[in-house]
Structure 1
Amino acid sequence: MDGADSLFAFLSSHVAQAAAARQEGSAPEDQQQQEQQPQDGQPPPPPQQQARPSRTAAQLQHHIRRLKRSGRLAAALRLSYEGMDEHPRMRCFVASAASLEAKLGRREAALALLDEGLARWPGNVALLLPLGRTRAALGDRAGAREAFRAALAAEPDNAYILHAWGMVEAAAGDVAAARSLFRSAVKAEPDMAATYTAWARMEATARWGPAGEEAARRVFDEGHRADPSHVPLLHAWATFELNHDKQSAARRLLERALELDPHHVPSWMALGQLEWRQGNAGRAREVFELGLALGGRGAGMQVSLLSALAELELRMKNVKRARDLFERLRQFAPQHVPALLSAAQMEHRAGNAARAARLYDEVQAAVEQQGVVRGSEGTAAVILRPRRRPRAAAVGAEAQAEDGTRAASAPAEPSEAAPAAAAAAAAPAGPPGAVVPVLHARAQAALRDGDVEAAERWLASVEALEPGNGYLCHTRGLLCQREGQVEAAEDWFRRGLRCRGSRDGALLCFEGLAELLAFKGLKDEARAVWRAGMAAVQPLTSRYLRQAALFEKKERNWAAAAALFSDAVRRDPQDYRSWLQWAVFERRQRNFEAAERCFQQGTAVAPGYPYLWYAYATMLIALKRLPEARAVLQTATRNCPRSAPLWMEWALMEAAAGDVEAARRLFTRGSEVPPTYQHAPLYQAWADFERQQGDEAAAQRLALQAEELSQAPGRGRRAYGSRMQPAAGTTTA
């Protein structure tokens, strides 16, 4: 039994044990429920008043931490607000609510909480820490540094503050400052494994090649020696090794992580992705199912695993499997916003316009009417502003705290409990901006359908809510450019440069403006805009670096283009489009070994992306490396069986090699793809082949099929699938 099989056996055994334990634990409860049922002929017992038991602050904090770990952020937020009401002198609940609001994307609500908290408790470190994080998330790095500096003035050796500040500097690209802060954090807390993880990730992206890899491994190793049982560090290390194609090392680390904590969802996901990358789709699905079997009922583990598996199936164009997974996910979280959006976009790409429209309606209603936001687990995340207490009450509470009663709290007065419940019930369902990603996604769906009028209506709705939204400005700019309104397009892009709500939205506008200026022939101005985006927005996306590389490539600045492609894949090793573009660039430079390395990395990351396989195979064919090309095409068609161009390229290769029967068999296989994946050039190539073989009747029949396909709307053009534009609120590589 090899390592993979032994790990799989261990995990299967643990799942069986967990299932048995759950079954045994449920028997007494069932029996108790049966005992509570009234006997025949006896009246049911009178209903008892259900008063909420008094909860200590420690109990509430413990419950909030459990909810956070399970991914139930909306529930944790609700409990944090309850803690603020029940224990008004405990600052931890204000800090918890603010942090959760920020995680749910409602940073203005977080700032309101923190401002009120710091007005009551000036200089409090527990509040300054989330304030720094929230300001950084809003792009206010100067404000974030100010908050962290004030916190460190109070507690100079607080490792959590040093860690958070280091994260901000790393995101801003200041490697030296971040390294110094991370080093200070682990000096203050030697077993601070989360800091080692962030530090190692930064080192891996700060330098390309062996130097960066070894620096990251040294940090990971130091962190592991400080805390050998820290599962998130093991997972992060495994992900790092997986991204650098060290699959055996990644498997060993994941094996250790899951032995220590079989309930660690990210490790299950990474193990499933490892199997998927190695071409073991069946085993990958089994890994995800084992992870699902370990989870209890609720939205945490199931939603994460089902979402990850659905996205993998979509990457492989397995729409039916992905649809089934989205339906399963909705059993746990019927209003999970990211899943509903992904499902809607999937159905739209598959041509199911009515089903997509229903899903868009559902997600829009969930956000607008019930307060569900993208970061929540599919349940309402109610905004409840902290109630301003009378000054006398605040003074009395502070005096009581000074008397040594800080940790305890008297039960809330009945007169206060009712207003709190009423405030929660009356609170608005959600912030107006929460629906913006949904409205923008609908606009893009309409644009893909060619319905500009409908797209304009959805964009107008976005503009009414967030006039400076970067995604809105980018889409408006592209629309104007498409209609020949170049000056209007430039105005929209420049407006989006000032977007502060989304890093990615701002970068899209820098990208759009640079490409527009290049189109106008203003190459120096375009390059200045690319560089301005790199200076203004951090961290950069791999997409932005890739597009900048393509600009330099067009300008024949080969060294600059290669460096930018390298930066793009260093930022995101999973960005298969960057691997493809870099490979094509190296191939045109006749650096075939470098191109092949890029093709291999890209196909390992995205085995269901046919463009990579096609470009890789055609390069090998051009180099007369036919056995290797044949092996690549075999793997490619196994991973992308509906890609007619791959079958066509393979058939043409065999035809050129003189294997007539193999060519005819491969043409036939390519013609058997589903209707929406039919490819007119395949039939034309097949017709030419049969004409060369002397079968004119077959050639004419096939040429007619090619002509019919090329004239049919929407047919013969979808061999690879459509390219989607980025939706507001999402990160596109």
Structure 2
Amino acid sequence: MSASASARAVRRSFAPKLHCWRPSHHRLRRTTCQNNTTDAVQRTASLLGRDTTNSAATNTGNMPLQINQDLMLYRARGLRTTWMKSKNKTSVKAMKVFNACMEQYQEALACDPTDARAYVGLGQLLMRAGRLDDARLVYEEGNLSCGGDNAYLWQALAVLEERSGRYREARECFDAATVADKTHAAAWHGWGMLEQRQGNIKRARDLFFRGVRTIEEQVQQQRNDAEGGNSKNGTAAAAAANDDDDGDDETGNGDEEENHKTDTKHVDYLYQSLAVMAIRAERFDEAREWFSRGTDTTYSQTGPKNSAMWEGWARMERDLGNYARARELYQLGLRASPRSRYLWLGWALLERKVKNFERSRTLFARGVAVSSDSVLLQAWGCLEAEDMHDIPRARELFERAIEANPKSLSSWQAYGRMEWRSGNVECARDLFQRGIWANPDAKGSCHIFQAWGVLERYEGNISLARELFKCAIRIDPRSKQTWDAWWKLEEDQGNYLRAQELRSLCSQSQVAEDSTTLDFSPSVLVDGDSSSTAIGGFIKRWMQSVEL
């Protein structure tokens, strides 16, 4: 079965689920969908509260120049970025930018209703605004207008469904994306990460493997075709000179092949995910091989510039005690991405680990000079407070970190711990409270509750400490630090039975699929699916049935 036939079969299977997929539309194609694009634009405009009665959407025969469409989308992306960077996205100024961005995307859809980029951009804008249902309708209308063969639209819809908690629908959309374009690395990676977050480690590994193998095979085939084409250039040129009648057909086929050329710029995320899984399984040689392939231009266009790839590799070597190799990798990564905050951070932490504090301080300063980020400032503040014992300097750095990112929970926690250890208990309590208020819905607030609970324990407020530990566990039931702090508190109070119960609950919360027996070697790119029992909902059900 061809890819197009498979895509049609997938779309027909969605008919009961997506309201826009009807049996009468399953034969739509980009070149034959102009009878329906006007209706799709009108429905999208109605959804957004826009009037397109007199717009270019009613005249799909007059398509704009490609450069004009690109410019409209470029301006729309710029407005979307400006709105996303606004601290208060509901302010009058921010809403003006938001509305201008909506109008720009609507104008792009009016000019070319079959441009999937406009639907994806508009859907992402609505998702950022929390309008998930509206974004879902935009993606579905985009699939209808574009014929259902655009992998980017399916992948964007899959991400939306996952964020909405509709995991079955998300898997179906990821599957449709890989059918529409089997070399779409983002779809393979997104699907694998979904399975990994659901606890299906074997399934995630298989998806990463299938994505890598499919893309590598396609790239190798294109290289072989290119080498064969170069060897026949003289013969092809002579045939083209003597046969003008077939020239148009050959040009069209050539354009189609160029449009379907494999794009390897995102495949490095697949290599990185496989390397991280190998590290967790303590298969470090296999992880090195995946990192090496991910940073090689032979396999990936953007891998050598992927700072996360270099940082992950260097951190693995650092944790294994290979400090010289780790320094070399940090240097290579910074040559490719000199503004990467994580590379500067990782290198500085390496020097701090080996007690080279002055070198660590220098690296922090250089990193902050090129990227004044709260992560770097917070880690630098911890260095000054804990190793250099320069409390005023640390306090200044923590203030700068919070100013750079008021929702940085790690900065609030580190700042509060420093003040507590310096004897400023009331100031520490105030910082913990402000940190929780700054981002109460974040999972990271568990660490603030845990640190606050430890403070109250040593200050003698046992009942309050228990309540704070309970809040931390409700936010993150897998926080081992919180469990350990809680059962130690109960032991100190002589509640040995309760402490044993908490240790048992901690062990249950840490249950995860054993990945140490899985093979992550690049030489084993197996086909087929692996199944495992998902445990993602276990802790949630336990929290609902057990009273702490």
CA 1:641–1:220 in 2, change beyond 3 Å: closer, same or farther? Answer: closer
Q: Is the 8 A contact 2:352 2:360 kept in 1?
A: yes
Cα distance in 1, alignment partners of residues 135 and 437 from structure 2: 27
2:288 aligned residue: 456
Alignment of 1:221-620 (within 5 A): 221-222=92-93, 224=95, 266=125, 271=130, 292=136, 296=140, 298=143, 304=156, 307=159, 310=162, 324=168, 326-331=170-175, 333-334=177-178, 337-338=185-186, 340-345=188-193, 353-365=201-213, 367-368=215-216, 416=248, 418-426=250-258, 429-465=261-297, 467=304, 469-482=306-319, 484-500=321-337, 503-504=339-340, 507-519=341-353, 521-536=355-370, 538=371, 540-553=372-385, 554-589=387-422, 590=424, 591-601=427-437, 604-607=440-443, 610-620=446-456
Letter in 2 for 1:629: A
SS at match of 1:624: coil
Q: Which moved more, 1:478-487 or 1:658-667?
A: 658-667
CA 1:51–1:522 in 2, change beyond 3 Å: closer, same or farther? Answer: closer
Q: How much does 1:531 deviate?
A: 2.3
Q: How much does 1:421 deviate?
A: 3.7
Cα distance in 1, alignment partners of residues 470 and 271 from structure 2: 42
Q: What does the per-residue CA deviation read over 1:258-303, in whole Å, with 9 as the maximum and x for residues that have no partner?
A: xxxxx9765566559xxxxxxxxxxxxxxx6797578636478885
Instruction: Note the residue ranges of structure 1 that are not aligned, 5 or more in a row.
Output: 1-18, 37-49, 71-82, 101-129, 131-159, 168-192, 205-215, 234-262, 273-287, 313-320, 372-412, 679-719, 721-733
Cα distance in 2, alignment partners of residues 552 and 634 from structure 1: 32
**TM-score, length-scaled by structure 1:** 0.45
Q: How much does 1:549 deviate?
A: 2.9
Cα distance in 2, alignment partners of residues 227 and 99 from structure 1: 15
Cα distance in 1, alignment partners of residues 197 and 185 from structure 2: 18
Letter in 2 for 1:429: K
Q: How much does 1:450 deviate?
A: 1.8
Q: How much does 1:464 deviate?
A: 2.6
Q: Is the 8 A contact 2:174 2:191 kept in 1?
A: no
Cα distance in 2, alignment partners of residues 369 and 503 from structure 1: 34
Q: Which has the larger radius of gyration?
A: 1
Q: Is the 8 A contact 1:307 1:339 kept in 2?
A: no
CA 1:482–1:659 in 2, change beyond 3 Å: closer, same or farther? Answer: closer
Pairing 1:637–2:473 present: yes
CA 1:97–1:512 in 2, change beyond 3 Å: closer, same or farther? Answer: same
Cα distance in 2, alignment partners of residues 26 and 444 from structure 1: 38
Aligned positions, number:
418
Q: How much does 1:358 deviate?
A: 0.6
Q: Is the 8 A contact 1:269 1:308 kept in 2?
A: no
- Over the aligned positions, Cα root-mean-square deviation in angstroms equals 5.4
Q: How much does 1:360 deviate?
A: 0.8
Cα distance in 2, alignment partners of residues 486 and 651 from structure 1: 36
CA 1:26–1:456 in 2, change beyond 3 Å: closer, same or farther? Answer: closer
Cα distance in 1, alignment partners of residues 447 and 173 from structure 2: 30
Cα distance in 1, alignment partners of residues 399 and 211 from structure 2: 38
CA 1:96–1:572 in 2, change beyond 3 Å: closer, same or farther? Answer: farther
SS at match of 2:440: helix
Pairing 1:93–2:66 present: yes
Q: How much does 1:367 deviate?
A: 4.6
Q: How much does 1:475 deviate?
A: 4.1
CA 1:426–1:303 in 2, change beyond 3 Å: closer, same or farther? Answer: closer
Q: How much does 1:616 deviate?
A: 2.7
CA 1:535–1:579 in 2, change beyond 3 Å: closer, same or farther? Answer: same
SS at match of 1:600: helix
Identity of aligned residues (%): 16
Q: How much does 1:627 deviate?
A: 4.1
Letter in 2 for 1:623: E
Letter in 2 for 1:557: D
Cα distance in 1, alignment partners of residues 334 and 510 from structure 2: 43
CA 1:630–1:222 in 2, change beyond 3 Å: closer, same or farther? Answer: same
Q: How much does 1:525 deviate?
A: 3.7
